[in-house]
Structure 1
């Protein structure tokens, strides 16, 4: 059975496309919508979106594989993305990554058995002045150390959003 874009998605897509001079300019916002619906962007969804926008599938796939914000497989409730660029590296990101591996019992690209956490590394989050940085879903957590990281994990495990107390 082939993937079909939902009617709700098509309605949102029409509004999003209307904001751009060309439909293909709406590719990233539409990919974000697809991901919001399913939690990730499946191959079949990429193909359906390519057809909807009248773009080559390869163009849609290139965008999804280039940007780390797109998940190509189901991710946990909290997607932890550790910056591995030079500023974060020098400020302690390798130690934080090792701590996350140990505390969560997973490696990069894996999800905990309870589906709560997915761990990834990313090349740069663009917050070098606040290194080390970890992105959790859409939120940045900056100037992290082991104590702040442990507190962040505990809050997330208990369903508390650390930025919205």
Structure 2
């Protein structure tokens, strides 16, 4: 039954996955949330140590997928998870693989030191529900929704075309009046 299905599905992905275009597609088929470590560079020595710690956390938490991504490796992907000006890295979030993610207030950024216990406290707080749910915001928020903006642009374009054609009709009629006088 379901135990075997879960085991097989969980075995399809490595315990800790580097996040890239291919693994994001693979994650869409998995219903587990992703504990995502946002790193500055996923190939530097500090990050490699952190990734090893993530692997051991993944061993103990099969109900979650553990992933990591470097800002240097895939900046566009990491942008919604951190503000490049004020955000300190590395940072942990729990991502639903869509437009929502959760942060544990006060425990999202990993300080120098014992990353293992910091990750344990993060997971404890996450499971206890001490999280702040966030949604990816647009880079340039508008008062109108994007669809409303498209409709507005379409209406302006139609008005411009109508004015253009109505203006052309008047120019054609004026000379005929002048000839009649």
Does the pair score TM above 0.5?
A: no
Indicate the structure (1 or 2) with the bigger Cα radius of gyration.
Answer: 2
**Higher RCO structure, 1 or 2 (CA under 8 Å, sep 6+):** 2
Q: Normalising by structure 2, what TM-score?
A: 0.37
